[in-house]
Each structure stands twice: as C-alpha cells, then as structure tokens.
Amino acid sequence: MALWIPITIGAAFAQNLRFMLQKHLRATGLSTGGATFARFVFAFPLAGILAGALLIMRGETLPTFGARFWIFSSLGGLSQIIATMCVVALFAQRNFAVGITFKKTEVVLAAIFGFVVLGDRISTNGFLAIIVGLIGVIILSDKPDLKSVKKWYHPLWNKSAALGITSGALFGFSGIAYRGASLSLGHGDFLLRATITLACVTAFQTLVMAIFLWVKEQGELQRVFAAWRVTALVGLTGMIGSWFWFMAFTLQNAAYVKALGQIELVFTFIGSYFVFKERNSTRELIGIALVVLSILLLVLWR
C-alpha cells in the first residue's frame, strides 16, 4: 500500500474530530471567528515544536524559502481560514452530516475550476458526474422545514448552499496551494517539507485571525482562551490533521488525496448519529448519496 493512502485516511479522521469539536464550540457561545481561531492558535506552537524537533534530531538546516513558497502558503492559508469559517457558520444552518457533505463538493468544484482556469478538458462521463453532484447539492440545500412550493433553482439561492459550496471551493484550492508550497522548498524529504510548511502556514493563519478578532470582535480572543480545555483539543486535532494532509499533498497529487479524503463522510455520519444524536431525513440522505456518488463517478471515470 502506498504511504500516502493511510496518511490521508488518518488526516480525514483527525479532521472530522476537529470539526466535531468546533461544532461544540460554536454551540456553546463562541463566534464563527472565535471557533475558527481556536483551530489555529493552539496548532501553531505544536507545529513549530514539531518542526524544530525534526531539524534538531536530523541535524538539518532550514530549507530555502523562495517567493513561490510564500505566495502559495499565504494564499492557501487565507483560503483555508475563509473555508473553515464557512463550515463553522454552516453548522448553525444545518446539521453536522449535511454541513460536511456540502464541504465535500470540493472534488466536483475542483474539476470545474480546472476547466475554467487551466483549460483542462472534461469528458462526457465527467460532465455527467458533475450533474449528479449538482442534483445532490440542490436537494441538500433546501431546508426541510420549508413547506412552500418553489421553483427548482430556488434552493441554490440560500445561505446554506453558498456557505457549503464556497467552503468546498476554497478547501480544494488550499490543498493545491499547500502542495505547491511544500514542493517549492529547497531540500528535505516529504516529512520535513510538510512539517515546515505546516508551521509557517499556521503561524501566518494565527496572526491573521488574531488581528481580525482584535479589530472586529472585541473580547472574542479572551473567550477562546477561557474555553482552553476544548479549544486546545481543537488545535491538537487540527494540527495532527493538517500535518497528515500536508504529508499526503507532498507525496501525491492533491486531486487524488482529496478524492480519497472523501472517507471523512463515513466518520462524519458516525459522529452525527452517535455523538450529536442527529437524524437525517430521507430527502437529505438521498442528496448526500448523490453527492457521494458523483464524487466516486468523477474519480473512477476521469
């Protein structure tokens, strides 16, 4: 078995735990920005310690940081911040399983962006897979408590759909950016490159979010640290998950990593059912199944 496969599965599991903790933080009073900041502020020192330990144990020096590294890492970091805020905000709109499934449209959106931005061709089979996913998103985006009859396109124009699809697009882009940043480093194996990239990105994200909360949400920084028992766990699981993602992106094409990462949906439904005691309607299960089917078709057919 290729090394990137178990690493990706571990990343998906850790990421699912982190989202569960962030959902808990959002429900207990922290703002969307506060719950997002918690994901970075405790991860940064852990990632820094890990990178320093690797350098010391191996007797290596820091790799060369070029402009390409800083551009990719900063764009990826900003994309991940906004995407994470979208997912946390989405938890207030819909339940845990549906929220994460919206995020998982990142694979479908990556194919669309590849065609629009890079001119990558989409086969007929790939186009059909995207249509299947679009139908699933339409079904998912319509809140179950709305009884009024609406035209078919109305479900696309609501906050849940916008947050979910935006998060998927930005998470997809951040994965590509992180791979580019890690591969641009001057030397070192995949483990060292991934760890150093993670430390730099989380430091940047912590600074950006701290400034944002200090300016926009007075008192939220104090609330994050007051809830340190949970926020520290968010940082720990976030750091472990990101470390695994960064290693996988360094080892393998980001598209393949994202595709295998769909296994997170299995962990999501387990958490939704057993931890949050949430139950999905038949319509929501159909929508989720269509999104998953579209992802599988896209991966198998392209």
pLDDT in tens, the chain (302 residues): 678 888 988 998 888 787 777 666 666 677 878 877 887 888 899 999 999 999 999 888 888 899 999 999 999 999 989 987 887 777 666 555 666 667 767 777 766 765 665 455 566 776 676 677 667 766 765 555 544 445 545 555 566 777 878 888 898 888 888 888 898 887 778 899 999 999 999 999 999 999 999 999 988 999 888 888 778 888 888 889 989 999 988 888 776 777 777 777 667 766 676 766 766 677 777 877 777 777 677 566 65
Which token pair is 155?
A: 């479900």
| Other CB atoms within 10 Å distance of the CB of residue 40 | 28
Cα dihedral 32, 34, 37, 39, rounded to 10, equals -80
The boundaries of the domain holding residue 14 are 4-301
CA distances from 213 to 77, 88, 220 (A): 17, 16, 7
Which residues 6+ apart lie within 8 Å of 76 measured at CB? Answer: 173, 174, 175, 176, 177, 178, 180, 181, 201
Domain count, the chain: 1
Q: Does the predicted TM-score (pTM) go above 0.85?
A: no
pLDDT computed for residue 19 by the predictor: 72
Question: How many distinct helices (H) and strands (E) make up the chain?
Answer: 14, 0
Distance CA 39, CA 23 (A): 12
